[in-house]
Structure 1
Amino acid sequence: MTDLAALFTDLVRLETRVYNAIDTRLRAEHELPLGQYEFLRYIAARGTCRVYDLAQEIAITVGATSKAVDRLEAAGRVRRTANPDDRRSSLVALTDAGRQLLAAATPTFNAELTTWIGSVLPASSLETFATTLSMLRQRAEVDHRTDRLERGTPQA
């Protein structure tokens, strides 16, 4: 029988070490923390998004997300514009500088993922791992949304 506590420890330690390795390389080569890279990647995939959307995707508070977007905006990597559908929120989009930085940093990000994960597992194991991890994350997302509804926390 699988020791779930040991599995949890391995998962958390792996995530920490891989995150730190990628963060270190992105900072060294692109002056871009991994957290900001993830924001840029999410925004680029959608064209525009709200701070709330980023917070939900990254699984951090709206306040922390807003401060992170403030830093990206101050660095000239994103811009906020009024949301025509909701005056209480703004839309975040990449600037040209943000797009260029993301394009330059993506090969570095991918190379680190290959080093830490892609080169370690055979293709069939990697596919199984990706499917399993996705299934676990989807379950966690459903449980998170259910918890919010039970507490009466509004969703957007």
Structure 2
Amino acid sequence: MPAPLPLDPIAEAHRQWTAHGWGEVADGMAAVTSVMRAQQIMMARVEEVLKPFGLTFARYELLTLLHFTRTGALPMAKASARLQVHPTSVTNAVDRLETAGLVRRTPHPSDRRATLVELTDEGRALAVETTEKLNAEVFARPGVPDDQLETLLRILAGLRRDAGDFDTGGDPTRW
């Protein structure tokens, strides 16, 4: 990890935006840039934990999604929708996980057009092990004080809801 910078580059960009006549959008620029940088920081922490297991976050998410299902299997299209990623991304993740013996493709029992992706016993065990490690090393301490987490979750849920990620059924307080 590199040494901290002597100044906050986003605050400096905000100052520059204002100095160049874009003050009315400087807060928005700083917010977007801050969220993007926070995502980079969090992703680096997650990937540091997953790397020894040979997993990327995308593959971990798929394993965990399958682990959370009743049967340990989902149609690939449904996995894509639930993970909010393009079907090609799920196909790529399944290819890698299948090569590692963590999932297998099986024909859908009632829809000949669909393929199920199914967790193997090894995949289930790895999903549990990596989740325990992430819980201990990342999720228990996400880098935001406990008394601010709910506020952050509400703010980000509002952003995601307004972008069309989900529908709260008219209850804007649900996240």
TM-score, with length taken from structure 1? 0.78
Runs of 4+ in 1 over 3 A off after TM superposition: none
Look up the match of 1:22: 46
Moved more, 19-28 or 6-15: 19-28
Percent identity reads 32
Residue 115, structure 1, aligned to residue 162, structure 2: no
Please identify which structure carries the higher helix content. Answer: 1
TM-score, with length taken from structure 2? 0.70
Cα root mean square deviation, aligned: 2.1
Instruction: Specify which structure has the bigger relative contact order, considering alpha-carbon pairs within 8 angstroms and separated by 6 or more residues.
Output: 1
Q: Structure 1: how far apart are the matches of 2:49 and 2:111?
A: 38
Give 1 or 2 for the bigger CA radius of gyration.
Answer: 2
Which secondary structure does the structure 1 equivalent of 2:145 belong to? coil
Residue 134, structure 1, aligned to residue 157, structure 2: yes
Which secondary structure does the structure 1 equivalent of 2:163 belong to? helix
How many residues end up aligned between the 2 structures? Answer: 139
Tell me the alpha carbon deviations over residues 113-151 of structure 1, each in whole angstroms, 9 at most, x when there is no partner. 23333xx3133x2112112222322332358xxxxxxxx
**Residues 55 and 62 of structure 1 are in contact (CA less than 8 Å); yes or no, is this contact kept in structure 2?**
yes
Runs of 5+ consecutive residues of structure 1 not aligned to the other structure? 144-156
Q: Structure 1: how far apart are the matches of 2:146 and 2:55?
A: 30
**Residues 77 and 94 of structure 1 are in contact (CA less than 8 Å); yes or no, is this contact kept in structure 2?**
yes
* AA in 1 matched with 2:40: T
